[in-house]
Amino acid sequence: MRDSLNERGFALWPDALGPAEVETLASRPAVNDSTEDDAGDRDLLREPWCGELAAALRERLSGAGLLAADAVAVQCTLFRKSAGRNWKVTLHQDLSIPVAARVDDARLSAWSRKQGGAFVQPPPELLERLLAVRLHLDDCGAGDGPLRVVPGSHRHGRLDADAAAALRAAQGETACTARRGDLLIMRPLLLHASSKATRPEGRRRVLHFLYGPREPGYALHWSLAI
């Protein structure tokens, strides 16, 4: 997994969580949206159960040599794709991070607010130190709108739209299908996209954790760190 993460920018950890643990997570009210009235939540890390899960995953990732021992979880986003809430995502990199407050530094750009919190795009040097961990709460096959990634693209720094498209054309895409309980581990600078689900009866719920260094630098502070 470590070699795949370094070289390709992503790795799959099969069966990282057992069926009973996944079922408990999937049945939590914040996750189990029976009315299908929204597509997710980017602020789940403030939930005690989610913080405990983030800490447990950090220990396992660190023990496997995939994450620095002093790393912290800084965000957990729930993505919930279903027949009622179906969407596609164009090719992109994850460039924004959640921080406590705005800082006056020319190296920081694209300040925004989401769900009341501050977000910013830091230099690539910080983005390269981040790790995204996607816990699948449902099976995600080819018809469920899985992530499609461009292997190795995380090594090219921040890319504009033309460069991203050219890299995809040259290197192709890989569909990251997964089973319930699998972890998809990836670098945020990895180019990725997803299509709408084509299997109407399907459902795809993913807990997307973001880990980073305890001190992000640039006079920034995380909005939450666990």
Identify whether the C-beta of residue 41 lies closer than 8 Å to the C-beta of residue 30. yes
Q: What's 2-212's CATH class?
A: mainly beta
CA dihedral of 36, 194, 131, 99, whole degrees rounded to 10: -60
Instruction: Render each residue's pLDDT in the chain as its tens digit; 226 residues.
Output: 999 999 999 999 999 999 999 999 999 988 886 555 555 677 899 999 999 999 999 999 999 999 998 999 999 999 888 767 777 889 999 999 999 999 999 999 999 998 889 999 999 999 999 999 999 999 999 988 899 999 999 999 999 999 999 999 999 999 999 999 999 999 999 999 998 888 766 678 999 999 999 999 999 999 999 9
Per-residue tokens: 19: 């069926």
Classify residue 181 as left (phi > 0), alpha (psi -120 to 50) or beta. Answer: left
This prediction has a pTM of 0.94
Those residues whose C-beta lies under 8 Å from the C-beta of residue 55, and which sit 6 or more positions away, are 73, 226
Measured distance CA(119)–CA(95) in Å, rounded: 10
